[in-house]
């Protein structure tokens, strides 16, 4: 049995289009997984995530306001 999970880290400058890229990528059929996808958000910018698309794709969003939240 393969217990390994894929992890993708998207980072960049403020207002560089990360949220748009993530919204686009999560909406693509090639990225879809029947498993739950966890989206860890470490900064909230001007753009919003498409809540309807996230629900449809079984994506759970967790906002981390402080790097120490990783230790919980």
Which residues are paired to 60 by β-bridges?
A: 38
Tell me the C-alpha distance between 48 and 41, whole Å.
11
Tokens representing 69 are: 């939240």
Give the confidence band of 59 by pLDDT, cuts at 50, 70, 90: very high
Decide if pLDDT at 71 tops 80.
Answer: no
Q: 63 vs 70, which has greater pLDDT?
A: 63
The whole-model pTM stands at: 0.79
Give the confidence band of 58 by pLDDT, cuts at 50, 70, 90: very high
Decide if pLDDT at 72 tops 70.
Answer: no
Tokens representing 18 are: 């990360």
**What integer is the mean pLDDT of 15-41?**
91
Tokens representing 17 are: 């289009």
């Amino acid at each position: 049995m393969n217990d390994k999970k894929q992890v993708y880290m998207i980072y960049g400058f403020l207002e560089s289009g990360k949220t748009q890229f993530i919204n686009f990528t999560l909406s693509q059929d090639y990225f879809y997984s029947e498993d739950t996808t966890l989206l860890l958000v470490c900064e909230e910018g001007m753009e919003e995530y498409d809540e309807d698309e996230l629900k449809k794709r079984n994506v759970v969003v967790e906002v981390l306001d402080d790097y120490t939240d990783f230790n919980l």
